[in-house]
Chain A
Amino acid sequence: MADAQTSEPIRPVLAREPLVTNGRSMSWVTNKICGIVENRQPALWWYLFIPSVILMGVLGYCLAYLVVTGVGVWGNNHPVGWGWAITNFVFWIGIGHAGTLISAILFLTRQKWRTSVNRAAEAMTLFAVICAGIFPAIHVGRFWMVWFLAPVPNANGIWQNFKSPLLWDVFAVSTYFTVSVIFWYVGLIPDLATLRDRAKKGIRKLAYGFFALGWRGANRHWRHYEMAYLLLAALSTPLVLSVHSVVSFDFATSIVPGWHTTIFPPYFVAGAIFGGFAMVLTLMIPARKIYGLQDLITHKHIDNMAKIILLTGTIVGYAYIMELFISWYGGNKYEQAAFENRQFGYYKWAYWAMFFCNVISPQVFWFKYCRHNLWVVMAVCMCVNAGMWFERFVIIVTSIAQDFLPGAWDFYHPTRIEIWTFVGTFGLFLGLFLLFLRFFPVIAMSEIKGVLPESDPHYLPPETFTHDAEGEKLSHKALKKTAKKTAKKATKKATKKATKKATKKKKN
């Protein structure tokens, strides 16, 4: 058997960029990811967590104040019944879409690079949907009436209107959240088992053990597990496309000029994925740096995500321009007025900020340099995060601030309570994400191990080959020597850099 192996020549294959760099082993992956959960958190974690908790408190205060006082504490007025609350709802729910896209659609299309980012992106989805869920619940003012949304008859025996997009939205968002939790949890089970096996005693062992369900990694289990995962991915794919489509129906099925357009569902979905990827990068680039995950989340991952941002950003830009074209070509004067107001009316600054952030700024990703410079990537992502919020604000507020009757027009501006409620949801989002980093494996270990080259049952280590593709004899001693040399050079460079930094610090 051994002889047969050694006489095989290396087959000429195009080398792919490795998904995990520096040839890391399985146990390295386990130690690295579990180490984040098992060791003390870096000081920066606390510097971020404490303000997040304070902001959560601010959010709680604002919500309590609203419920006790009434929606009058917000800036909503007569034409603008949907102000920041619905803007924020659509903003947060859109953020979640990138997580499901990475976990479901990229799984079905066999994009193996997703394994490094899917866990964190799915967690981000859940937290974004939690933040989103707050707003529809409170925007009705009388919070204790929120059960009217559930499919139960009220005191007069009247049921909900199932023909209304607002009720579809209730079903879409709650299904989305539930399915995302299930998908996330199913993915977590093998990794929780790893944490259980590494924990020696106490609450840690008990808690991880409980949620790992006694997972033994048996292949008879993997068989059903993989099928469950595949089915969940296949179910989530149309689900994620449907959720933002249904959100867009809230607007598109009304007759308000600026809302009443058929382009909304695809436009909203592209925008959601666009904004969500920007948020994934906003969270993962610092996390990658802080926890030293550069070998797992490589430049290839960031490059791929930047390309998706470029693609979806361009689709969004197309939608903006197409909306303008249709309003002119459609010949409806109310529609034309709505779009004129959007660009040159009360809120023109919001429209142009949106246009710059969402359409112009991602265009730098055409250049490889920009996709590889993390500062540029972060800057563009921040632009997109802001731009996507402006998009929802522009769609919602500009359309209703100036609708059919000029006599009813009014300017809308948010109150302090509204602003702090929104800022507070960032605290909730970041706080939950930091807790996730603290208690859960941030990268799906079992999936990462599955994409390592040695995980292929037909993989042979390079030492087993005696001839290369051209039939020439390979000298493994020589190969090893060169490998050692390059490794030495790399370490020398690294130490030089470190000493340079240290001397700089001393000088300062």
Chain B
Amino acid sequence: MTSQTPVSRLMGKRRFGEAKIIVHVLRSDPLSIFALAVIVLLVFTAIFTPIVAPSKTGSIFLPPSLSHPFGTDGLGRDLFIRVLLGARISLMVGILVVALSLLIGCPLGVIAGYFRGTMVDEAIMRITDMFLALPPLLLAIAIAATLGYSLTNAMIAVAISWWPWYTRLMRAQAASLRERPFVEAAKGLGVGEIKIVFRHILPNSLAPIIVQATMDIGSAILLTSGLSFLGLGAQPPTPEWGLMVSRGRSYLGSFWWYATFPGLAIFVTVMAFNLLGDGLRKALDPRLRIKRRLF
């Protein structure tokens, strides 16, 4: 091994081999494959439904049938189409919320962790604690109540209450990575601190973040649909799943399909992301890679 190879490039080589193993492990886990399939299906639905879907209407409150697989709602709109349209909204919500939380939380966390023990760390952690102390739903309610009820505001609310988790996660990762030999080596080679933080520590902390973020996409969808259910998020006529469930609530006894199917959609979607995240966690943890027998 030459001494000229930059540290990060060596790590890059290792990571490529890792990627192959990760894919292999994922492929062998039936639940992960299932989850991935569902998500791909969702993305497909999200992209293509607005384009190809016919706007079918029928009489109001039709039960599920061949022409209306999920029945119709109080305005006669086909629920199946509406649920499919909702996929796009929910996926966007999930991804945007997580992306926003990551954007705020990760850099803060890496900085706090790398400069652990200093004023910078303390300051960041105190602010984080303040936001962490707020139960997400409550903060979301408070913000939504202030800024008005809309899906965008609900998303902002969730992101604001969520970024502290990533900060904490990143901080723990960065703090432990800081002690590793390769960081010392980089410092010894004269690499500047900022560069170390962003070129070396950040990429290596990604594994648990990826796992968490994947599962959080599901949780974000769960939370924002909950807010919409309470009326604080999406407003009618948006085909948002949580909103549809709350609309359907009044017709529980007689027209059960109105509330059931959108909720089912939420369930399946969130579960897919959670399963995928769980499978990723297995795949990314080298210690879990022992093959075991089924019985």
User: Are A and B genuine complex partners?
Assistant: no
